[in-house]
Amino acid sequence: MRLRAIHRALLVFVAASAGACTTSHMTPAMIAYGSNQPTIAPPPTDPDQPGFVRPGQPFSCVPYARQASGIGLVGDAYTWWDQAEGRYAREAMPRSGTLLVLVNYAGPKRAHLAYVTRIVSSREIRIDHANWLNDGNIYLNSPVIDVSAANDWTEVRVWNNRDGHMGIKTYNVRGFITPFQIAALPPFS
């Protein structure tokens, strides 16, 4: 947690320095993703607020998830859960650093990947993800709440960063892919 605070403080310092040399305000997220276009994002002084960035090139969820997590899978998001079997640990509950896999949100061959940045409570996490509203934007610090009856993370609602409210639609969760390769895990004793 302290390392995350130091990292954010450094990004804020760099953003402030860059802002002094240019006419446009550069947020840490804009610097990280190489965009100097206008953005609607959380102010650098309040990194806990949800926001989004319009990158120079539109992002889809797959390359963003791969870059954020370090998980070396390729192909459509709906194939990632099956591809991860035997290669990466898959879990039913969220952990920071895992990928949330949403399935069947727009048909059987449609899925979405989101990087879990932190656990807020047993029923809320924060995610960073791309192209949620099919616009190529990168969404930062988006709240996701577990609305499943059994509190088992099989159904969630996702924050709409652009409109500033919790979405009303419920999405099915396949699970969470960890960045830990199966071969690298120690054997059970």
Residue 19 has pLDDT above 50, yes or no: no
pLDDT band at 51 (very low <50, low <70, confident <90, very high): confident
User: Residue 175 pairs with which residues in a beta bridge?
Assistant: 101
Q: What pLDDT is attached to residue 189?
A: 55
| Per-residue pLDDT tens over the stretch 130-180 | 999 899 999 999 999 999 999 999 999 999 888 889 999 999 999 999 999
Report the C-alpha gap between 25 and 186 in whole angstroms. Answer: 46
Residue 186's pLDDT band (boundaries 50, 70, 90)? low
Determine which of 15-19, 66-70, 113-117, 163-167 has the lowest per-residue pLDDT on average. Answer: 15-19
Across the range 61-85, mean pLDDT stands at: 96
Tell me the C-alpha to C-alpha distance, in Å, between residue 186 and each of 18, 162, 164, 169, 181: 44, 42, 43, 40, 10
Show the domains of the chain with their CATH numbers: 2-38 (no CATH), 61-182 (3.90.1720.10)
108 pLDDT higher than 60: yes
Residue 105 confidence (pLDDT):
78
Stated as kind and residue range, the H or E segment containing 173 is: strand 171-181
